[in-house]
Chains A and B, each alone.
Chain A
Amino acid sequence: MFSENLSEFKGQPVEDWTEDPEDPSQFDKVVYRLRIGWEHETTVVDQLSALLQSKGSERLQSLVIGAWHGDDSDAAPTELVEALVSARDRLPRLRNLFIGDIISEENEASWIHLMDLSALLSAYPKLEHLTVRGSIDLSIGSLSHAGLKELVLQSGGLPVSVIHEIATAKLPALEHLELWLGVPNYGGDATVEDLSPFLSGTLFPKLKYLGLKNSEIQDEIAGVVAVAPVLAKLDVLDLSEGTLGDEGARSLLGSPNIRKLKLLDLHHHFISEPVQTELRSLGPEVDLSEKKEPYDWGGDDNRYNAVSE
């Protein structure tokens, strides 16, 4: 679950937008977050208008969108996305965008409603980084984007429809792809077969970071990734936040290409100590933090992934 808002984004401090900072150079130093909450009377669209009228806002490179839903937890960010599309010429340097810096106290990740973001992506051809949290009604359409280097979709259940859209998207610059797959109960209905387009190594020629994470079938995913051609091209393999146990870890240990990684991120896992020791001796840096214990509810397998609410 997500419990803390971003305090940093793309190496810069994040601050909630309150008012015109007056000093235009603030836009070089701070990433602003637009959001509304219990104490606000405004809307995120109003905040964006105010930001755009602020001197120096044309210098803005990164933007974070927090809770937009106000009193309606089922509200999609439709007006905001339309306003951002309209503002395309006024934010010529926008490179990094985070949509949905929403913590679970504000709304659960699996309750966040989104929308078709293809118009937004088309409006910002120079966008390099996009993170989206939430997945209800999320779509990226038939995407062709020459600039996007990093795509992160955080979700309690990423629909297979979105996974198919990414698998057919034209993203020649993509270096970092992170898919938080989630659980079937919350719409995460992808199987390992649905992930096969990402494993060939030909889909995104520049890909260096592949995250297939926060899954209930993390062992199965590890099994197919371990023998996938894409592994040879990666610097980072991220199978974190899921239910990875000894079975998946052993698949990784048996993989010929795993040693070439710079980082193997497995944090939030259920791997036993002896197998962890073997992983540590592989060579690459291995993140084995957040060892979890299965819930004690009886039954066969009570492992749980990080974000499934």
Chain B
Amino acid sequence: MARGEAFVRLIVIGIAQSRRSTLLKEAAVRWPALSVIEVAWIDLLDGRLDLRSVVQRGDVVRIDSPGRDFATEVALLRLGLQNDPGDAEIPTHAQLDALRFERGRLLWPAAWYAGFCAALRMLAAQLSQCPPHRLTSDITTICTAFDKSATNRQLAGRGISVPAAIGRVANFDELVDRCRSLRWPQAFLKIAYGSSGTGAVALRIGADRMQAWTTTEVATDGSSALLYNTRAVRMLSSIGDIRQVIGCLCRHVVHVERWIPKAGVGGKAFDLRVVTIGGEPTHIVARLSNSPMTNLHLLNARGDIHRVRERCGEASWNSMLESCRQSASSFGGCHCIGIDALFAPTFRHHAVLEVNAFGDLLPGVMVNGMDTYAAQLAALFGQPADWVSAAAGTGEAA
């Protein structure tokens, strides 16, 4: 987008004043000919706005996360009730009417996912009647990425190394029976829909004892199982406590997979978030933790990435990157994805854990002077004006 070229519009469907929105707009400042137009999820969901009245010929349309906004969440839940949320605990309309915001509470994931997919289909229907434009994330691809079981199957089908998975289980006893019959000493149970750390339990199963790590707290309210995400990781060693938490989670749709041991670096276990843009890995961070839950402590310790590379050697590192490229290609409908990957303790093998359609929120992680947002804009619209002139130094640009 050289100087003098026509203005380009980037339509962003997201949450106004969210961190994601702010970071994107800050990055976009470096593209003077780019105008960012924000469309709030809630306006689309409530029918106040229709993309057919927004999108013009030549626009680029970006769908961003609808997360962290209570009104949007409730609207998605309502939509989910009308769109076959499946066999899982769902709210009544009266419960939704009475709902008040509570920090950390996880609301009916099956209904949320049904509503989210229905909302995306609605956007796709509107966009199909808009003038020619570019959509950076394909609707079906986003839906798949938000379903952990479907993602695991899709990656496995491409021959990418992933944890062996059971998929959904109905209750604690089924979980334990399945793990024992597969001879899995440890397993991860996660809510099947939603972002990485949601409702996760790392379970270790011995002959006569168990141990579980979780950030989820459960409470029961009449017939409802209320789930809360907390920042504190708890270690449960009483089978009764573990049964209760897992029982509550299983009333929602869960995904169970083998817990593959993660390598350690700097005295902590870690996995990686690898952001790919246009299919190519760009921004990588190690997520370090003193517990099996790595999603809590996002650290941009570039030194750690170098240490990881040193420990695993170039061949193993490149093999992991290649799996990320293959994963990105498998989710090629999304211009940018965030892949979670681990190295086993030997550092010789890796596995892809999750694919995040909105996995680009890595504030402050810079590569070649660009965060994930600037790098996406550069891939879509060309290098920013200041970057081009800075790179050219005192040359012809001066």
Contact = CB atoms under 8 A, between A and B. Distances in A.
A and B associate in one complex: yes
Interface of A: 1, 3-5, 7, 16, 18, 35, 37-39, 66-67, 69, 71-74, 103-108, 111, 185, 309
B268 A74 contact: no
Interface stretch (B325-333, B340-348, B368-376): B340-348
Interface in B40-59: none
B269 A105 contact: yes
A39 B184 contact: no
Contacts of B262: 105
B32 interface: no
Contact of A103 (B185, B260, B264, B311): B264
A1 B269 CA distance: 10
A69 B269 CA distance: 20
Given A5-B345, A38-B260, A74-B206, A309 B269 contact: no
A67 B186 CA distance: 14
A5 B264 contact: yes
B345 to A, nearest CB: 6
Contacts, number: 76
B261 A38 contact: yes
Contacts of B185: 69, 71-73, 107
A3 B346 contact: no
B264 A309 contact: no
Interface string B336-360: 0000000011101100000000000
Nearest to B261: A105
A30 B207 CA distance: 36
Nearest to A103: B264
Contacts of A72: 183, 185
A105 B288 CA distance: 13
B344 A39 contact: yes
B323 to A, nearest CB: 14
Nearest to B311: A7
Interface string B208-225: 010100000000000000
Contact of A38 (B204, B207, B258, B269): B258
B30 to A, nearest CB: 40
Interface of B: 183-186, 204-207, 209, 211, 235, 237, 258, 260-269, 290, 292, 311, 344-346, 348-349
A105 B344 CA distance: 10
Contacts of A1: 290
A185 B268 CA distance: 24
B313 to A, nearest CB: 11
A104 B311 contact: no
Contacts of B258: 38
A39 B206 contact: no
A73 B262 CA distance: 16
A3 B183 contact: no
Given A4-B263, A37-B345, A71-B185, 16 more contacts: A1-B290, A3-B264, A4-B264, A4-B268, A67-B261, A67-B345, A69-B185, A71-B184, A72-B183, A73-B204, A73-B206, A103-B264, A105-B263, A105-B264, A105-B269, A111-B209
B65 to A, nearest CB: 29
Please report whether the interface of chain A is mostly helix, strand, loop or mixed according to DSSP.
Answer: loop
B292 A309 contact: no
A253 to B, nearest CB: 29
A96 to B, nearest CB: 21
Contacts of B349: 37-39
Contacts of A71: 183-185
Nearest to A5: B345
Contact of A39 (B183, B267, B346): B346
B345 A105 contact: yes
B207 A74 contact: yes
A108 to B, nearest CB: 7
A-B interface, 6 closest residue pairs, ranked by CB to CB distance from nearest? A4-B264, A105-B261, A71-B183, A39-B349, A3-B264, A73-B185
B260 to A, nearest CB: 5
A103 B206 contact: no
Given A3-B267, A39-B346, A73-B206, A108 B261 contact: no
A18 B316 CA distance: 14
A3 B204 contact: no
A3 B288 CA distance: 10
A306 to B, nearest CB: 10
B268 A73 contact: no
B261 to A, nearest CB: 4
A18 B344 CA distance: 15
Contacts of B311: 7
B266 A4 contact: yes
B269 A104 contact: yes
